[in-house]
């Protein structure tokens, strides 16, 4: 049996499972905020910087308009953001936090704490892991896209 084809030797599979299992753990923590996981990372990005076009938000979150447009419409319906077409450039839509959306940040403060209780124990050296993953993230999304795209 080819060692390289063994499931337990696939880094991709380990990443994929860890990602899914972590996201699953967010569910009960995000339910009280009426947010899905994707809505949550979207709000995280906007709390750091709002009044940005969909494009910029997408670059920050590694998501395209096909995913963001319906998500943002839901967040708008929920009252956390507003989508405002720019008057400078009618092609772009800027995302603004509403007061409700800004206030939500306070309630969200306990989410990372809850996760640390739930998952934290499973993470040896979080800081180092985070750095390695960030290095990988940028390499994955640049290496074959240097000149093109």
Partner DNA sequence: TATAATTGAATTGTACACAATTTAAATTGA
Partner DNA sequence: TCAATTTAAATTGTGTACAATTCAATTATA
Q: Choosing among its own copies, DNA, none, which partner's interface includes residue 84 (Cβ < 5 to 8 Å by kind)? A: none
Q: Counting contacts by CB under 7 A, is residue 78 touching DNA?
A: no
Reference 52, options 36, 67, 72; nearest CA is: 72
Reference 54, options 40, 34, 71, 79; nearest CA is: 71
Q: β-strands 93-97, 81-85: how paired?
A: antiparallel
For DNA (CB under 7 A), the number of binding residues is: 35
CA distances to 30, 54, 141 from 68, rounded to whole Å, are: 19, 7, 19
Dist CA 120 CA 111 (whole Å):
12
Dist CA 68 CA 72 (whole Å):
6
Dist CA 17 CA 20 (whole Å):
5
Give the footprint of DNA on residues 21-60 (CB under 7 A): 21, 23-24, 27, 36-39, 53-56, 58
Residue 91: φ, ψ to 5°: -80, -30
Q: Choosing among its own copies, DNA, none, which partner's interface includes residue 68 (Cβ < 5 to 8 Å by kind)? A: DNA
CB of 37 to DNA, least distance (A): 6
CB of 73 to its own copies, least distance (A): 21
Element of type H or E holding 44: helix 37-48
CB of 7 to its own copies, least distance (A): 5
Assigned token pair, 79: 């009252």
* List 2, 4, 7, 20, residue binding DNA (CB under 7 A): 20
Binding stretches for its own copies (CB under 8 A): 1-2, 4-23, 25-26, 37, 41, 44-45, 47-48, 60, 62, 105, 108-109, 111-113, 115, 118-119, 121-124, 126, 129-130, 132-137, 139-141, 143-144
Give the footprint of DNA on residues 90-119 (CB under 7 A): 90-94
Where on the chain is the footprint of DNA (CB under 7 A)?
16, 20-21, 23-24, 27, 36-39, 53-56, 58, 62-72, 74, 83, 88-94
């Amino acid at each position: 049996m080819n060692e390289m084809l063994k499931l337990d030797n696939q880094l991709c599979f380990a990443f994929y499972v860890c990602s899914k299992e972590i996201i699953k753990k967010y569910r009960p923590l995000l339910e009280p905020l009426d947010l899905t996981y994707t809505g949550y990372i979207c709000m995280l990005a906007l709390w750091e910087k709002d009044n940005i076009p969909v494009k910029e938000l997408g670059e920050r979150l590694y998501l395209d308009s096909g995913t963001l447009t319906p998500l943002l419409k839901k967040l708008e319906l929920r009252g956390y953001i507003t989508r405002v077409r720019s008057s400078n450039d009618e092609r772009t839509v800027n995302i603004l936090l509403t007061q409700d959306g800004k206030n939500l940040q306070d309630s969200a403060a306990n989410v990372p704490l809850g996760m640390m209780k739930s998952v934290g124990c499973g993470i040896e050296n979080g800081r180092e892991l985070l750095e390695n993953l960030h290095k990988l993230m940028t390499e994955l999304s640049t290496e074959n896209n240097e000149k093109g795209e």
